Amino acid sequence: MIIGDSFTTKEIDEYCINNLSVPGIVLMENAAIKILKHLDLHKNQCFLIIGGRGNNGGDAFALGRHLLAHGEKVEIFLIGGEKGMSEDCSINYNILKNLDVNINLIDNIKDIEDLRNSIKKSNIVVDGIFGTGLTRKVEGIYDDVISVINENSDYTVSIDVPSGLNCNTGEILGNCIIAQKTISLMTYKKGFLNYTTENYTGEIIVENIGVPYNSIKNICKNEFILGEEFVRKNLKIRSKYGHKGNYGRTLIVAGNEGFTGAAYLATEGAVKSGAGLVTLSTHEKIKDILSYKLNEAMIASVENKDEFYRLLINSDSIAIGPGLRNNDDTFELVKEVINKSNCPIVIDADGINCLKNHLYLMKDKKNSIILTPHPGEMSRLTGLSIKEINERRIDIAKDFARKNEVIILLKGYNTVITDGDKTFINSTGNSAMASGGMGDTLTGIIASFLAQGYNPLEAASMGAFLHGYCGDKLSKNMYSINAREVLNIFPCIMKKFQSN
């Protein structure tokens, strides 16, 4: 699913009209037909359509005509007056007038009271007041109308974007429609990814309105919602002749006193997701504890420098950081891994923390690096506040990845995975997974995928999606989930996607 914004929406419209010779009125008609199928005409019979003077209003008026053609009871309102209508909006508005459809104009307080009474008699209100082009604060009669809809509508469907929401940033421009469903046209709008916007969008459905997929993809900014189709397309099929040597050697560098669980979960993450051979290199003082817990992985001492170097140069992927502690010893380990290994590296937790003042190390690397920070760790890396990071997750992650030539997996709801050019936003995962060890598990999974031959962006994206998918499946019957439960079903979930 492609992510777009107001600029790409305008560019796609212009491309269709100028290059493909598809008139805007055809796109508007297609939009109305696509929206119609989400209104459940078997359950709902009374509709209220409210449109503005722009193309969003034109979509709404075209939809009103289709509802009338189906014999539904429809009341139609225009806010802003006829003067200044866009050309395509005017066409659909005039078609309604030619059909002798009564259109209620909203100009004053009495009109707003009429609107309120009509809303109370309707099953669904369709919001077509503002579209993707809104940048100014909602004021005056528009503000009043939005408030009346929010106060009185049982169920509101917004066309493309809830009126009052900046589709680029998710900012609420003074007042905003609170929709139960938003039908986003052509792309998933970037502003929907802001942490506060789902309170306004409700369920989001993306509908294509007859624009070729490749045309949309070429115009948009290489940003995508990560979905099941990505996993089905990229998950490797195992050969019946395959053996452990075919599925890679993964080295996990993790653990310290008091943090054996982090090392255990990262290692098990690699084992359960299919790496051929997994070795945990950890501190000597906790080695015996982990040897007892880990049955399918080998254990080595990080203090044995010769052995550690041999593991570095013979591994197909390395994960470093979980449970190591943020200290000089950990920094030296991270530096050695970056400088001496020849394979892709996943750096997490304390491995990230100790890089705070040493970002230069990543510029001199000879291999791919994936950093997997949560917002707090990203704050330490960038010097930005957690609030700012959460408000601009995509842009900050892309900028950091581009400048430091790494892949960033910025954890949280709608996890961002980017190499600075191509960006995926994960659609899986939920707050039932908010427990210790989840990130350690993900680190091991990504390292395993790297060892199995996935490229770094694929490995990070697949790992994030499948990890979150396990959490979504478990949360249907569980209030909270721990990392071991995710690990237990992970191989089954991989098999499910392979089978499909």
3-state secondary structure 405-436: CCEEEECCCCCEEECCCCEEEECCCCHHHCCC
Q: Is there a binding annotation on residue 134?
A: yes
Q: Is there a binding annotation on residue 18?
A: no
AA letter at 338: I
Q: Is there a binding annotation on residue 57?
A: yes
Residue labelled with tokens 């995975």: 417
Largest CA distance in the chain: 87
Q: Is there a binding annotation on residue 439?
A: yes
Q: How far is 42 from 71, CA to CA, in rounded Å?
A: 12
Q: Is there a binding annotation on residue 482?
A: no
3-state secondary structure of 42: coil
Q: Is there a binding annotation on residue 131?
A: yes
Q: Is there a binding annotation on residue 414?
A: yes
Q: Is there a binding annotation on residue 128?
A: no
Q: Is there a binding annotation on residue 444?
A: no
Phi/psi at 164 (nearest 5 deg)? 105, -5
Q: Is there a binding annotation on residue 411?
A: yes
Q: Which of 37, 32, 34, 14 is nearest to 24 (CA)?
A: 14
3-state secondary structure of 132: coil
Q: Is there a binding annotation on residue 415?
A: yes
Q: How far is 344 from 407, CA to CA, in rounded Å?
A: 11
The length of the chain is 500
**Token code pair at residue 256:** 């310290």
**Token code pair at residue 103:** 């259109």
Q: Is there a binding annotation on residue 135?
A: yes
**Token code pair at residue 417:** 């995975």
**Token code pair at residue 476:** 């249907």
Q: What DSSP letter does each residue of 367-414 carry, written as one string?
A: S-EEE---HHHHHHHH---HHHHHHSHHHHHHHHHHHHT-EEEE-STT
Q: Is there a binding annotation on residue 54?
A: no
Q: Is there a binding annotation on residue 413?
A: yes
Q: How far is 127 from 122, CA to CA, in rounded Å?
A: 13
Q: Is there a binding annotation on residue 133?
A: yes
Burial label, 243 (beta-carbon count in 10 A; 0-12, 13-18, 19+):
exposed
Q: Is there a binding annotation on residue 323?
A: yes
**Token code pair at residue 191:** 């502003």
Q: Is there a binding annotation on residue 60?
A: no
- Calculate the dihedral angle through the C-alpha atoms of 370, 376, 382, 386, rounding to the nearest 10 degrees: 130
Q: Is there a binding annotation on residue 488?
A: no
Is 94 in contact with 85 (CB distance < 8 Å)?
no
Q: Is there a binding annotation on residue 267?
A: no
What is the helix (H) or strand (E) element at residue 74, kind and residue range?
A: strand 73-79
Q: Is there a binding annotation on residue 309?
A: no
Angle between helices 328-340 and 305-314 (to 10 degrees): 40
**Token code pair at residue 70:** 């189906």
Give the residue numbers of the binding site: 55-59, 127, 131-137, 142, 160, 163, 262, 323, 374, 411-415, 439-440
What residues form the annotated binding site for (6S)-NADPHX? 55-59, 131-137, 142, 160, 262, 323, 374, 440
Q: Which residues are annotated as a binding site for AMP?
A: 411-415, 439
Q: Which residues are annotated as a binding site for K(+)?
A: 56, 127, 163
